[in-house]
Structure formats: C-alpha cells, structure tokens
Amino acid sequence: MKQTPENRVYESQEEIVTAKYKTTLDFKTRLKVIKKHLNEPYLTLSNLKNWLYNTERLRVHENTISRIISNINMLLSSKNLRLNQRREKSCKFPKMESALFKWIKKYKQIAPTPRFIIKEIALELCKNIGEPGWQTFTASNGWFNNFIKRYGLKRFKNHGEANSVSEKKVKQELEKINAITKQYSSPNIFNIDESCLFYKQFDDVTYSSERRNGCKKSKQRYTIFFCTNSTGMEKLPVCVISKAAKPLPFRNIDLSKFRFNYYFSENSWMVKEIFCTWIKDFDQKMQGRKVLLLMDNFGSHKLNNIELRRLKLQNTRILYLPKNTTSKLQPLDQGIISSFKSHYKSRYIHKWIANIRNRVYNPEQLNILESIIMAIGAWDLEVTPKTINNCFKSTGIESKDKFGPLTKAITLYMENDLLRQKERKKLNLSYILS
C-alpha cells in the first residue's frame, strides 16, 4: 500500500505535526486559492486553509496560504506556467533574462532571432549587467531551453521574404499593378516562377533499434519552373533545367509522350537564352489572344527593348512585379509551388515504400526522368485550380471581370498606362512599373 501522511506509522507527535502539513501545491491549485481569495476577500487564512482541505483534501499551513496570496501578481502575470508543475525553476540571472526578453520583443519584427543570436546577446547582457556569478555563465543549451520555457517563447520557422516589405509599400504598388491587370480578364493573366528541386533528398534522421551506417544527403537538383493563369484552368507543362544536354535516363526514351519541356545550362539555373526561348514559345501558344504575364525582376527575366524587338512578341505583355514585393505579390509564391512540392514529396515517399517492399537495393534512389514523371503528376493532377485561384486572390491582384471596383488611384494609373500604350502603339517593355 502506498504510504501517505494519513496511513503512515509515526514515531512521535512532533513527526505527525510536521508530516501533516508537508504538501507542495501545484500551480493549478495555487491559482484556485487565488481565485477564491479574489472572489471572497473577507475569508481569513484559516478559512482558506479549511476550504482547501474540504475541496481538494490537501493539508497546508496558513503560512503557505499567505505566501500564495503575497505572490499573486507574479503568478497571474506569468505566461508560461505548467499547471501540473509544483515548483518553478529558479533563475540564476533574473535581470539578464528580463533584459534579454525585452530585447527579443523589441527586435522580433526587425530581424529573426534564432538560437545562436539569443545566446550571443545573453552573454553580452550578462557581462554588462554583472549579476553575481556572471563569469560562470556560458549560455548553454540547457539554460536556453529553460529560458524559453520560463518566458513562453515558441519556435517558428521563417518562410521566404514576407517580412522584408512593408504593408504600406505593397498597397501602393498593388494599385499600380491593378491599373494594368484590370485591363485583362482572369483567363488571360498568367504568372511564371521557378524553384530549385532537390529531387531525391530524404531526412537524415532514422528510427531503429541500432545505428545504421551514415547516408550522405543527396545534392542532386534541377530548376523547375511553372506557368499558370489566374483561374488555374490553364496550367502550362512544367519546365525543367538541368546540367546535361541529354541525361543518361533520357536515352532510348520517347520524351514526347511526357508533358514537360527540358532545357540545360551549366549550373542548372535559368539563364536569359532559356527564358527567351520559352517566352517565344509561350507567345505563339497565345495566338489570337492578348495576355499579361506577371513575373519577378530576376536578372534572367529582364529584357531590354533590343531583346524584345528580336522576340517580336505579338500576344504577350510582360509586367515585372516591383522589387522586394514578390513574397507578397507573386501568386506562385503564395502557396502554389509549396503545394506542388508537398505532392511531389508524397509521391516520392510512396515510391520509396514500394521499393522497400520490393526489396530494391537503395530504395531511396531516383533518376532524373523518374523524378520528372513524378513532378508532372504532382503539377498536372494534384495542384488544383482552386488552390491556384485562391493564391492569386490572396495577393490582391485583380482582373477586369473579378474582385473590387475601380478606385480613383487605379483609374488614374490606368489612364496613364493606356496613354503610354497609344503613344508607343506596341506592347513592349519600355513601360515597366518600378
């Protein structure tokens, strides 16, 4: 039978009295005591002690109740108490930690605050404040973990450039953009963007009863780029850029039965020659239409008037998104590419599992053609028109047949744009929003 103060055999009356009150309350119970005290302030310490015994069957001394009430502000203001915890871990350098927490709050919107930055600032503050024993402080991982628990800090992963541009600037640029996009219907507004795909990268953590020989993470990659219209009903074939002119897995394979375009460059990156080839093909596909192509101002995308005249685009107008705003205004960046990568990874995992079941040696292995086939499936079959349309909407970019009304600012920008088009009498890149 478990020994408790009620059933234990004591040797003396003094031991009985000591054991009777030897109870450490968890924070949940302490908060109940505080709530009772605040709701019924006329209750004495003795009343509260008896109430606690009657409701929780906990025996405490009146001094314990007094200490709980005297620490009322600390308990109510703490954001990181674990209710089942009985004692709060003591902090050796409270002034430093308080100053560090204020520093994190001050700079969280200006710059990211990863672990190594917080630890470095902690060392600096500890030295400057000079609390007793500061020379022994090393900003260890143990201290860091306890610090973030004490102050209720959470780990967040940073995504893209979303914090690098102010909302005010985005709003200003959006009016200029909508002055042009509102001249086109939704099916005629397209967006192009590229991304790097490490096509057979897998986790470096494994779960097993014994250690497995180390596996090096694969660095094999290619650039993949996408183009879709704002309705999501017109997704162009994925385009892949790799290093080899004709990779080994392509040999003796009829590539025409796969819906993709292949290009090659020295570093597997987009280069201007590839972009010019692609956009000329795109313009020919748009024959009989007038379309607007949104893109970022990446160097390989930038075309001057001489290069544009050589291309002789008849159906396509290019609109470069303002610098440093693509994280907010590029539709493909709002979740379309992320959705593609998630579906691609799912297909890769299923293939891996199938290889394990079939006892394939190195089940994680994948050649570039197999990867491209999975990429085609993820893009064509699993990235839905609804996802694409929602991502276009999330940017605030509007077409002439959807979304909000014409504002005075948009109308003014639109009139200026139409005037410039008439003066030049051709769609070209000499008028680009900046």
Contacts within 8 Å (CB) and 24+ apart, 240-249: 240/372, 240/375, 241/194, 241/265, 241/268, 241/269, 241/270, 241/274, 242/268, 242/368, 243/267, 243/268, 247/367, 247/368, 247/369, 248/367, 249/367, 249/368, 249/369, 249/370
What is the model's pTM? 0.61
Q: In percent, how much of the chain has pLDDT > 90?
A: 30
Reported confidence tier of residue 19, pLDDT bands at 50, 70, 90: very low
Q: Higher model confidence: residue 111 or residue 147?
A: 147
What is the amino acid identity at position 35?
A: K
360-387 mean pLDDT: 91
User: How are beta strands 189-198 and 291-295 bridged, if at all?
Assistant: parallel
pLDDT at 392: 92
- C-alpha span between 136 and 124 (Å, rounded): 13
Share of the chain above pLDDT 70, in %: 74
Q: Please tell me the predicted confidence (pLDDT) of residue 215.
A: 56
Sign of the CA dihedral with 262 first, then 267, 269, and 271 last:
negative
What mean pLDDT do residues 400-427 have?
62
Of 13 and 356, the structure prediction assigns the larger pLDDT to: 356
Higher pLDDT, residue 235 or 79: 235
Cα separation, 162 vs 261, in Å, equals 31
User: Is a pLDDT exceeding 50 seen at residue 15?
Assistant: no
pLDDT at residue number 375:
96
The residue ranges of every structural domain in the chain are: 27-77, 94-151, 167-202+217-403
What mean pLDDT, rounded, does the chain reach? 79
pLDDT digits (tens, 9 = 90+) for 45-89: 888 888 888 888 888 888 888 888 877 666 665 555 554 444 555
104-113, 222-231, 332-341, range with the lowest pLDDT: 104-113
The residue ranking higher by pLDDT, 321 or 4, is: 321
- CB-hemisphere CA count at 13 Å for 134? 16
Determine the pLDDT at residue 413. Answer: 61
Average pLDDT over residues 210-235: 80
Phi and psi angles of residue 350, each rounded to the nearest 5 degrees, phi first? -65, -40
Please name every residue paired with 190 in a beta bridge, in sequence order, or none if there are none: 229, 293
Whether residue 90 has pLDDT greater than 50: yes
264-270 own/partner pairs: CB under 8 Å, 24+ apart: 265/241, 267/243, 268/221, 268/222, 268/223, 268/241, 268/242, 268/243, 269/223, 269/241, 269/300, 270/194, 270/223, 270/225, 270/241, 270/298, 270/300, 270/301
How far apart CA 316 and CA 192 sit, in angstroms, is 13
pLDDT at residue 23 is higher than 70: no
CATH topology of domain 94-151: Arc Repressor Mutant, subunit A (1.10.10)
Q: What is the CATH number of domain 167-202+217-403?
A: 3.30.420.10
pLDDT score for 237: 96
* pLDDT of 258 over the 80 cut: yes
Q: Rounded to an integer, what is the distance from CA 79 to the centroid of its chain?
A: 25
Q: Is residue 228 very low, low, confident or very high in pLDDT (cuts 50, 70, 90)?
A: very high
Residue 22 has pLDDT above 60, yes or no: no
Answer for the pair 190, 294: CB distance below 8 angstroms, yes or no. Answer: yes
Q: Who contacts 56 (Cβ-Cβ below 8 Å, separation ≥6)?
A: 29, 32
Token duo for residue 84: 């089942």
Please give the angle made by the CA atoms of 411, 324 and 312, to the nearest 5 degrees: 65
Number of residues written out for the chain = 434
Q: What is the pLDDT of residues 136-192, one digit of tens each?
A: 998 898 888 888 887 778 776 654 445 556 677 788 888 888 888 888 999 999 999
Mean pLDDT over residues 6-18, rounded?
Answer: 42
CA–CA dist 246, 274 (Å, integer): 16
DSSP 75: H
Looking at residue 250, its amino acid is: F
Q: Indicate the DSSP class of residue 255.
A: G
pLDDT the model gives residue 346:
87
Lowest mean pLDDT across 105-109, 143-147, 286-290? 105-109
**How confident is residue 410, by pLDDT bands cut at 50, 70 and 90?**
low
> What is the structure's pLDDT at 266?
86
Mean pLDDT calculated for residue range 379-402 = 91
What's the Rg (C-alpha) of the chain?
A: 32
94-151 matches 167-202+217-403 in fold: no
Lowest-confidence segment of 79-83, 99-103, 197-201, 300-304 by average pLDDT: 79-83
Q: How confident is the model at residue 353 (pLDDT cuts 50, 70, 90)?
A: confident
